[in-house]
């Protein structure tokens, strides 16, 4: 049953395609053109020349639109680098704002470590004082960091850790460095030449296809 339905639908589709108004219109136009050629051979030759010139112009326009040049590829690379640099500077600006906001807080948790269930040791900065507190069922002050060298060391380590955590721009920096390195590498020039040759091959292949289509169209007109 399904096969019969599919066969019937295929036949109906073919009939609709064959006897559509578009097909009839084309047939009428073809008959008129044949009659015109019989009556006026000179005008028929001129019409064929105009049609061939028009088709060649359309083929050249399609070739110009379809082809991808090496300059377009370079522009795409520069656009990607520009967007990456914009994201980099935006993240850097946000990081500075967040760091300045945290530095303006009077009480700040610099970190800690867990010692078990609901128990931990934390380093808390209160103003200009560094306090080591134990957190459990209650909060207890263990000691205060009074040594200036130890104080500076803890603050420096905390700042370095925050810069590494908040700065996802390392990925962008690595990509930019790698791009510069690849640009100075002779292999990059070989890659560019290979890419350009492949693009030229694609353009030439499309040109041949358009020429074949044009030839088929001219044969059909004849």
Domain ranges of the chain: 1-39, 48-102+168-222
Q: Which of 112-116, 157-161, 213-217 has the lowest mean pLDDT?
A: 213-217
pLDDT of residue 73: 78
Mean pLDDT estimate for the chain: 67
pLDDT digits (tens, 9 = 90+) for 63-76: 555 456 778 778 88
Q: Please determine, for residue 87, whether its predicted confidence score (pLDDT) is greater than 80.
A: yes
pLDDT digits (tens, 9 = 90+) for 163-183: 666 555 555 556 666 666 655
| Contact present, 103 and 94 (Cβ < 8 Å) | no
pLDDT of residue 203: 72
pLDDT of residue 2: 44
pLDDT digits (tens, 9 = 90+) for 132-144: 888 888 888 888 8
pLDDT of residue 140: 83
pLDDT of residue 94: 76
pLDDT of residue 53: 57
Report residue 38's pLDDT band, with 50, 70 and 90 as the boundaries.
low
Q: Please determine, for residue 1, whether its predicted confidence score (pLDDT) is greater than 50.
A: no
What mean pLDDT do residues 193-206 have?
73
pLDDT of residue 194: 72
pTM recorded for the entire structure: 0.32
Q: Please determine, for residue 27, whether its predicted confidence score (pLDDT) is greater than 50.
A: no
Q: Please determine, for residue 213, whether its predicted confidence score (pLDDT) is greater than 80.
A: no
């Amino acid at each position: 049953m399904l096969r019969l339905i599919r066969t019937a639908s295929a036949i109906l589709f073919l009939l609709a395609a064959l006897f559509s108004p578009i097909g009839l219109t084309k047939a009428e136009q073809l008959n008129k053109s044949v009659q015109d050629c019989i009556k006026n051979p000179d005008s028929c030759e001129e019409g064929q020349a105009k049609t061939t010139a028009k088709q060649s112009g359309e083929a050249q326009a399609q070739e110009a639109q379809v082809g991808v040049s090496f300059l377009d590829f370079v522009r795409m690379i520069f656009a990607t680098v520009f967007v990456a640099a914009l994201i980099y500077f935006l993240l850097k600006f946000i990081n500075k704002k967040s760091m300045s906001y945290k530095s303006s807080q009077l009480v700040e948790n610099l970190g800690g470590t867990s010692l078990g269930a609901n128990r931990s040791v934390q380093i808390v900065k209160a103003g200009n004082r560094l306090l080591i507190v134990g957190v459990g069922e209650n909060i207890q002050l263990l000691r205060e960091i009074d040594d200036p060298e130890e104080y500076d060391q803890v603050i420096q380590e905390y700042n370095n850790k925050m810069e590494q955590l908040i700065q996802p721009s390392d990925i962008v920096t690595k990509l930019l460095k790698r791009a510069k390195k690849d640009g100075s590498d002779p292999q990059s020039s070989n890659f560019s030449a290979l890419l350009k040759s492949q693009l030229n091959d694609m353009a030439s292949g499309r040109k041949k296809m358009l020429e074949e289509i044009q030839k088929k169209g001219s044969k059909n007109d004849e």
